[in-house]
Copies of this chain bind each other. A is one copy, B any other.
């Protein structure tokens, strides 16, 4: 858009970064998109990307996807407490975000397009794997030290819980999940997740 060498300032720079991020996530998927590449696409200094998007790639992705939450803040909440509470805290924080009617329809729209549009599925997979599960595995002293293969398996079981929760509580509205108080699900699903982190 802007001629070569010109550096957009203020909101223009922010807009250019988002525009470049949107293009590169769509073209390369989440995994192979880098902040450096986005800065290059937007013709801005990489430090400016960090300035506008402290939460890095995950935050940029959420903004491009019009997600109502900043994943960096979400993860910070989840790992703020003791490692032995990450499982329950993940479910607690997650349901806090999803049960909020201000967020729910935007999140549902995002998940629905992630399930039906292959291009978006690719991006969403990378984000769930690296941006969410990867960060959580990193935050726990046991899982941070595991070999990649075992770590992926455990992250996979956690992914099953989170994707299963979304689909059964908000999409299919399965009785026993859709009508359960959040605290009940924290007690039922939290320990299943925790078991993947401990031991």
Q: A residues bordering B, Cβ < 8 Å? A: 112, 114-116, 121, 124-125, 128-129, 152-157, 159-165, 167-168, 171-177, 180, 184, 188-189, 192
* CB neighbours of A162 from chain B (8 A): 164
* CB neighbours of A168 from chain B (8 A): 156, 159-160, 163
A154, A171, A173 pick with most chain B CB within 10 angstroms:
A171
- CB of A196 to closest CB in B, whole Å: 9
B171 touches A160 (CB 8 A): no
Name the residue of chain B whose CB is nearest to the CB of A150. Answer: B176
A156 touches B172 (CB 8 A): no
- CB of A98 to closest CB in B, whole Å: 14
Beyond A125-B172, A159-B176, A159-B177, 19 extra complex contacts between A and B, CB < 8 Å: A115-B115, A115-B116, A115-B167, A121-B171, A121-B172, A125-B175, A153-B188, A154-B176, A156-B175, A157-B176, A157-B177, A157-B189, A157-B192, A159-B168, A160-B164, A160-B177, A162-B164, A163-B163, A163-B168
B153 touches A180 (CB 8 A): yes
B156 touches A176 (CB 8 A): yes
Instruction: Report Cα–Cα, A154/B162, bound state, in Å.
Output: 17
> Can you list 23 A-B contacts with CB-CB less than 8 angstroms, sorted by A residue number?
A112-B115, A114-B172, A115-B171, A116-B116, A121-B171, A121-B173, A124-B172, A125-B173, A125-B174, A152-B175, A153-B176, A155-B176, A156-B175, A157-B176, A157-B192, A159-B172, A159-B174, A159-B176, A160-B189, A162-B164, A163-B168, A163-B172, A164-B165
